[in-house]
Structure 1
């Protein structure tokens, strides 16, 4: 009877035991999805408010929660059902689990080129359909000695985020200098009046336009990314250009009309005809990316000509309108 009892107990235990025990989760297993939040403010996994974010011309990604360890925590598997009952990582590997949050700002969605997103573990790559947003998560089993990182590329410039540490990799520093990613401000108006040598009695002409506006941009449509170590400064203003009644035209010299601290000649200069016989000027300069401001001087150097294209002499010394942009 003792033997029969032991046999019965042994049979019952065998029935409860999983006949197909799960093997450890191997390296490079990857999954992604969307779920309820994994952590709250104050938890050790909470990453909001840290430097664990990436931004670009038309994207933003911010980490909310991060877990790194040999197994999937219950708080994660309880929300992300795809990770439920996932076996521990194989020896020499660990789970790297990341959930993303709403970005701190809404980037424009008019990107001309696709934004490429992928997770790279060592030499292995796992493409994503879009930039992760609120509630999206990424889970990957990574060897202990290999980096696991999110990479986002736009217009040929890729920025990375280490998913274990939250550190940025090869980032576009101009977005992370403590300066707003988009800085626009209104400065002084332009007002000019000069005497000219024109006609038998002498003439004077004047030009008044609205305020000069400046914008700080790490990236500009049509120009792409600012050169390494610099950021673009757009200077915009109106200029009269034509005095139709007198047949006069005043063309500004792009290389001398505007001076910007920390920059040489403009990277770009556009003068677009407007409806009041003038032009709207957009001059772009490259200044140091860590500059907290820039002095700007506008002096209407250029050539004044009559209706026949002959030069007209300006009798007064040209004055400089000085202003400063602060970021």
Structure 2
């Protein structure tokens, strides 16, 4: 008989929280507060993934192991949610650069010059996947994307591979091999995400230092833009989530695949508290903080027209050559 467990209650609480964020963002898009092609679209995708993940969490919390497909979906969607959130954080920093730096460019991701074949660029990512950085070596974010895609693949494959183990025979050669391979793959993937978060901190701190020194769209020097402060604060729950991911891959007592973390109806209360406090709450806090940057960036100027800027530069050079 189905039972509403503490795990289902925790999953439902965050499902409602993410649903509230989903409604806020949908309202933002429909009222044109957010643009569909902006950084908020990436965050909206993260919220949608997290809604699906928490829905699966509620189902697993009620049905337990009577429906293992819900459990696997919860794990995979959770990994995709974290992956999308880390990418969102980078996109928000890039957007701040484009709106506030005098050049209108981000040194993390230079904007495509006029005449760029964006369809060809998209096809390069589709067919080359993480090896697209070989084509776009002058774009640092392609390297970050590539590394995170590989890391995400390692985490999902490692988790799926271990899901097929026979835990009724934990000492069997097949189970031990699956445990070993999964641990290596998941630890390597989580380590890349942790390194990505460390790089994000450096990028935010460098941007804050330059902002204090050079000023921004507010025409003030000696201060830090409030959006950067929010991004800096959002980094802390992200790094906690990253450390927790490493621990889950390395420490057996924290692993999803440790039978001691389950009761007859799903997660034990101890494991539920650990998972939702260190895994889900941290992502939710970072997501809310990224949404709050809407209020701190309302008065930022629009992105500069790179095409117009380049044409003006060429025109100026032409006039100088003509002796005008």
What TM bracket, shorter-length normalisation? under 0.3
Q: TM-score, normalised by structure 2?
A: 0.21
Higher relative contact order (CA 8 A, sep 6+): 2
Structure (1/2) with the larger strand percentage: 1
Q: TM-score, normalised by structure 1?
A: 0.21
Structure (1/2) with the larger helix percentage: 2
